[in-house]
Amino acid sequence: MQQIEQEMITKIHIPRWNELPEIDLYLDQVVNYLEKYLAQYNVNKEDKIITKTMINNYVKLGIMPAPEKKKYSREHIAYLIVICVLKQVYSISDIGKLISLTIQYFELSKAYNRFCANLEVSVKNVFTRKEFPNTDKMTEEQYLLKNVVQSVADKVYVEFTFLNKDK
């Protein structure tokens, strides 16, 4: 992998809860927002990260709450970021279960921020070949979250480094 690409990956940032839009967005705005922040995780550039149809399906399947008056809040965007990242590794059904399990133990904003931080650390560590720190001090729920995001980081690394060399 070229040095520039690796530096880009190791400097990733997913917006935290307080960085997500404070005002509600329409569906087109949500799609544009997610494309902006999640493009770094889209290894196959021909595939869309998110579409209006995908979002509608996630709502219909009960994976995320329905919009209010056709507007999507910070809560919706947090759900969608997590779904978009995890769908690279997990089925939509499994993602729904993982989200439900996580929000049983953590307030949504804290769970979301922890997810973002763990994912960033995992991706950086995978690309720089460092271990994930302090696993012995984690609760069972924190360890589950660590393993979930680590699987995404591992997949991104393998695809960028090995599977898409010729693209």
Over residues 49-93, the pLDDT tens digits come to 899 999 999 999 999 999 999 999 999 999 999 999 888 888 898
Domain ranges (residues) in the chain: 3-163
Distance CA 2, CA 128 (A): 13
pLDDT digits (tens, 9 = 90+) for 3-36: 545 566 667 789 999 999 999 999 999 999 999 8
pLDDT of residue 143: 73
Strands (DSSP E) found in 20-113: none
Lookup: tokens for 51: 């579409």
For the entire predicted model, the pTM comes to: 0.78
